[in-house]
Amino acid sequence: MRPIEWLDDRVRFIDQTQLPENEEFVETDDPSVIAGAIRELSIRGAPLIGIAAAYGVALAAVRTTKTGSPLQSHLLGTITHLASTRPTAVNLFWALGRMRRIIDSLSIESPGRLRKALVEEALAIHKEDEEMGERIGGFGADLFPNAATVLTHCNTGMLATGGKGTALAAIITAWERKTLKHVYIDETRPLFQGARLTAWELKKVGVPHTLVSDSTAGFLMQQGKISTVIVGADRIAANGDVANKVGTYGLAVLARYHQIPFYVAAPSSSIDFELLDGKAIPLEQRDPDELVICGGKRIAPEGTEVYSPAFDVTPNSLVTAIVTEQGVAAPPYQVSLCAVRQTHREGVNL
């Protein structure tokens, strides 16, 4: 199953808000539907958001009859719309930057050629991410001890990427190599991406797993039940500070206290080389109702003040290593990530 795919002049994607009860797919030729799906988390996961945004631009190119300057203006408007959906995942802006480069480089006098090039670039972004996931999985699995018991947070598998995943790719690869014993999954409040999505994915591939509440992670470490922690990333600053699903920072602190390695797995497209450190990463604030309403039932009194960031920032000093498709980056990250940048394919700044 592919969470998103290009079907000639349409995009088909799974609505992740319906999982795990229902596997519902949406088909559309409307880029605004893609934008809405990203905003509402029907499409989520930093790499997958980037792929979906690229497909959204390709849809805008294919479905419009505009030519010349109106076509270019229409496409740039679509990019602006898609860029406004979620602020933290840098893959969104990286993918849109690549699409913008195609628009800027091709003559607006050749709309047919421009449309073809944009579709090809979106497909290339998808294929590259799929290939990166395979490599990340291999490099990440190399870091696990034999009979590893791994803790992970949120969702970092095929539902979040164009292929096998990032952190979950390492977990699945280790299982295939018979070096993984068990996986513990944080439920990942308030939207339960661990419970709804990661457990669903691991069940499909037959990896043994146990779901725990977010607050149980430290006790598991104290009991000696965790050998490794591995998570994904929505944006990594040039110094190795990591923005990921809220709760990640707490796991990193707990892992350091218990002397457990804490790994981050992400494609190079998740690294924002323009940001010197994590203080500059924009952090999305979520709808308060996501925290105070659960399963359609209010769990906090009306009027309760809510603080609900979607992400937190883990300082580089707590990160044992960052796994990318190009290998494992170790501290000092200003040096190791600089080597990653040399072969990183960038778009233009939006």
Question: Catalytic amino acids?
Answer: 234
Find where tokens 């990530």 sit.
Answer: 337
18's CB contacts (< 8 A; 6+ apart) are 24
| Chain-centre distance for alpha carbon 301 | 33
* CA trace torsion 21, 25, 31, 33 (10° rounding): -40
What is the spatial distance between Cα 46 and Cα 156, in angstroms, rounded to a whole number? 9
